[in-house]
Amino acid sequence: MNVSDLILSMVIGSILFYGIYKKVDIYTVFIDGAMEGAKAALRIFPYILAVIFAINMFIQSGAENFIVSILTPVTTLIGFPPELLSLSIVKPLSGGGSLGVYQSILDNYGPDSYIGRSASVLMGSSETIFYTVAVYFGAVGIKNIRHTVKVGLIAHCASIIAALVVCKFMF
């Protein structure tokens, strides 16, 4: 048995015993929470569906490959590996899609190469911005996202630069 399994069991048990101690109807509270969770899931479903549709349309239409082909000469000139362009473009859009791109990078270049290590650091230091915005803003009903996506994309660019710099100096 793992220590984390033991800790998780202790936390859940502590919560249950505390509820019993405070004379809370645990089953009713659990059902109420599950109902609120189901309502939240239904409320954010249209946002998630829209994001998934847009991501699939972007990738399947060839727009990603078109952007990569346009940016490759520029990124090569500044020392950015063109092999990481697809990952850098897909990661803010789709976690699953970026995992596929990441796996193909590891298969082609190996996990111990500069490209593989940079891809690994990039995967760990960036976020699926559009999906996250859709889920979190949709869950609370915010329709005007203002500067969130801009700031998220700036942070994504900073994580790309940091990943490349760290991997260049560390490996």
Which pLDDT tens digits describe the chain residue by residue (171 residues)? 688 889 999 999 999 999 999 999 999 999 999 999 999 888 888 888 887 888 888 878 988 889 889 989 988 888 889 889 989 998 998 888 889 899 999 999 999 999 999 999 999 998 899 888 888 888 788 888 889 999 999 999 999 998 888 888 887
Domain count, the chain: 1
Alpha helices in the chain (DSSP H): 3-21, 26-60, 63-78, 85-90, 95-109, 114-125, 129-140, 148-170
User: 141: left (phi > 0), else alpha (psi -120 to 50), else beta?
Assistant: left
In a domain, 37, yes or no: no
In a domain, 85, yes or no: yes
The interaxial angle of helices 114-125 and 95-109, nearest 10 deg, is 160
Domain that holds residue 158: 42-170
Contact 74, 56 (CB under 8 A): no
In a domain, 47, yes or no: yes
d(CA 34, CA 28): 10
Contact 116, 87 (CB under 8 A): no
Contact 160, 88 (CB under 8 A): yes
In a domain, 83, yes or no: yes
pTM over 0.85: no
d(CA 113, CA 84): 12
d(CA 27, CA 56): 41
Residue 3, number of CB atoms within 10 A of its CB: 7
Query: Tokens in use for 141?
Result: 């009903």
In a domain, 32, yes or no: no
In a domain, 2, yes or no: no
In a domain, 99, yes or no: yes
d(CA 89, CA 43): 28
In a domain, 48, yes or no: yes
